[in-house]
Structures are given as structure tokens and as C-alpha cells.
Chains A and B, each alone.
Chain A
């Protein structure tokens, strides 16, 4: 029962977390900030909004990419943290889904057909090659340690102690997946406007925002799930909030890297991931 409640409520929780995040962000910048329920209002407004007089590119992918993006991020909650629907190899499916959600960013960027959107997508692609590889390697580490390919069988006490290096890797991967400074280069508003979302408006933008919020929630849930497990529910909830705070804090207190610097950092992460895996296997 809890599983289903959590799954259905995931978009709402995600939006609420966005609100909390924005409020925290504002308070750290010494201002009041929007009310906590602001993201809900934003999304409702975006859905309400009509068409623009000069429509941009209206090809098939442009319409469909944000929706698939949102659905993909939601489906990920079928497996984590409570396995609603569990089968053999669902760990691999999850890896596939996270990569797909990144790929949809790229698709959305290319579909929008504006040089800024395309450039955002290109940046995302360059960085994706590096970080998705290390992410996959990192998850393989957990698969090797726990010896299971089914998320339902994942040890509830977590695997931090067996692979402490993974904590660092996961945090860094999380911040680039979520476009948190210093690694939000693909979305850098001062360089390429809003990146791939530049050309979207109305409902498409709403789905992108929702998807972003869901992805944020997913990583805040997924990282503690892998590291600490869901053994103690209260501790788990606390850890989720802790990660929300850490990510917000990182956004507040760092500037952004350039693309080549991001790639450099993630090469180091890749090497760390390899070491991590090798260490566990040996």
C-alpha cells in the first residue's frame, strides 16, 4: 500500500521539494523567496497557457519529448525505493531509464531546432558520454556487492560500508544529472539562454519542469537508497531531506565550470568509478 501511495504522490512530493529548495535558496541569499507551493502554481499556469503567435518548430519530437521525459522519470519510481513491480534484471532497466531520461534532454534540444537548443543538447551529449559511463560502472559495483539484479532483493541496510568511494561518485553524478552548479553547464542560462528548453512554452515546458522536479526527487531518494538502504524509514526520510539540503547548498555556494573543465572532472570520476569497481571485485 505505501508503495502505491508513494508512487502516485511522487510528482506532488517532487514539486513540494522544489518549493522547499527554492525557499531555502532564497533564504540563503538573504531574501524571502517564493512560497513553498510555488512550483505547483507554476505548473498549473504553464498548462493553462495558450499558444504563442509565432510557433517555433512543431515537429513530432518537439511535442513528444517532454511527455516521454516526464513519464520516464515517473516510471523510475516503480522500482525505487519500494519495488512495486519487481522482476529479474530490473536493476538494468533502471540504469537504462536514467540514461534515457538524459537522452531525452538531448532529443528535446535537437528537436527545438534553435542554435541555442542544439548547442545545449550538444553539451549534454559531450558530458553524458563520461558521466553516464561512470554512473553505470558505479551501479555495477553495487550489483557485484549485493549479488542481486533485482531491486526487491537489495539489502535494506545499504552498502555504504562496502563501497565508501561510491558515495563521492554518486554525489557528483547526482549533481550533474540534476544540473546543479558547478556542473550545470548544459543549462547555463547566461551562455546559451535556457539550453534545450529555450523554445518550449506552455504544456511542453510544464512537463519539462515536472520531469526535472521528478528527477531531483529520484536522485535524492536513490542515493540514500543505495548507500543506506531503506531499513529504517525515518532515517531514510531524514537522509532524503539531507540530500535536498546538500544539493541546494551546493547550488548556492558554487559557480559553474566550463564544458571542458566539467569533462575533465568527470574523467576523474570515471577513473574513480573504475577503481571502485576493481576494488570491489578483487
Chain B
């Protein structure tokens, strides 16, 4: 039994968004949506967090920091890309600052489309990502196999 399912602590990283998505993530805390009823807590330090919510385009300036934040999180971690910006660059895709979407910087486990996604949609994504945790165990042997193949090469 994975207890992350019961107490997922989240951490938000704004990698160059318009605030829309950040506000909707923060709106999860307010009495209307209150994700604390799932045991979620918004943590300031990435070392405490289990789930990283990334918003924004992941611009050049942010990439190093974003990787650092991801690395600081202790293992069994999940990343959710929130909003069109984080999925594909959204409206800022044509700008010269956008180089690659967030999932090329750090591995992303769940995408929430929308600009911004409604808080309910983010809760939905959270639930889906937690459901996936059980599936992870089955995947594990595959990963080791892949790694050993690489080692042979």
C-alpha cells in the first residue's frame, strides 16, 4: 500500500506562466475546493513534497531551477503539468523564450489541458495520478530490463 495516495503533499513551481494556472492551483486550497480533505498540503520546500505541479512554459531562465526542484524531491515523486502552457507552450509557443515544453525538461506523469484548467480538473488529475501509483510497481521490472540493455550496449 502506497501511503502517498493518502497524503500527497504538493509543491507548485511557476516556470513562466501567466498566473492563471497558479491561481487555480492555489484556489484548490480555499474553502470551496479544500484539497486538504484528501490529505494534501501545499508545501513550500520541494524536499517535503510528493507531487510537483508545474505551470508555465518552462522558459530558458527557469530550466535549471526546475530541474533542481525536481531533483530535490524525495523519490516516489510525480509531476503534473498544469495548463496548455506546460503541455505545449500554449499561447507563448511562438515566442523566442520558449524552447521546449516542460516534459522535455523533467519527466511529466500527467497533463491537465485547459487555459487555465478548472480547479476541479486539477483535482481530477491529482486523483488520476495517485491511482497510477499502483500501476508503477508492475512497470518496475521493465525499467530495469531497459537499463540493463543500455548497459550492454
Query: Which A residues lie at the B interface, using CB under 8 A?
Result: 22, 26, 29-35, 38, 41-42, 44-45, 48-54, 56, 189, 193-194, 197-202, 205
A-B contact pairs, 29 of them (CB 8 A): A29-B31, A32-B34, A33-B37, A35-B37, A38-B6, A38-B7, A44-B3, A45-B4, A45-B7, A45-B50, A48-B4, A48-B76, A50-B74, A50-B75, A51-B75, A52-B72, A52-B73, A53-B70, A53-B73, A54-B68, A54-B71, A56-B72, A189-B44, A193-B44, A194-B43, A194-B48, A200-B48, A202-B74, A205-B47
**B74: which A residues are within 8 A, CB to CB?**
49-52, 201-202
Q: How large is the interface on B (under 10, 10 to 19, 20 to 34, 35 or more residues)?
A: 20 to 34
A201-B47 CB under 8 A given contacts A44-B3, A45-B4? yes
The smallest beta-carbon distance between A48 and chain B, in angstroms, is: 6
> What are the 6 closest A-B residue pairs judged by CB atoms, nearest first?
A50-B75, A45-B3, A31-B31, A201-B47, A31-B34, A53-B71
The one of B45, B70, B76 that contacts A49, using a Cβ cutoff of 8 Å: B76
CB of B136 within 8 A of chain A? Answer: no
18 more CB-based (< 8 A) A-B contacts, given A45-B3, A48-B76, A49-B50:
A31-B36, A35-B37, A35-B39, A41-B6, A45-B4, A48-B3, A52-B74, A52-B75, A53-B71, A54-B68, A54-B71, A56-B72, A189-B44, A197-B48, A198-B44, A199-B47, A201-B73, A205-B48
**A50: which B residues are within 8 A, CB to CB?**
74-76
The smallest beta-carbon distance between A15 and chain B, in angstroms, is: 12
- The distance in angstroms between the C-alpha atoms of A31 and B30, with both chains bound, is 8
Q: Which has the most chain B C-beta neighbours within 10 Å: A49, A50, A193?
A: A49
The smallest beta-carbon distance between A207 and chain B, in angstroms, is: 14
Q: Which has the most chain A C-beta neighbours within 10 Å: B2, B38, B39?
A: B39
Please report which residues of chain B, range 41-71, place their CB below 8 angstroms from some CB of chain A when the two chains form the complex: 43-45, 47-48, 50, 68, 70-71
**A56: which B residues are within 8 A, CB to CB?**
47, 72
Q: Judging by beta carbons under 8 Å apart, are B45 and A33 in contact?
A: no
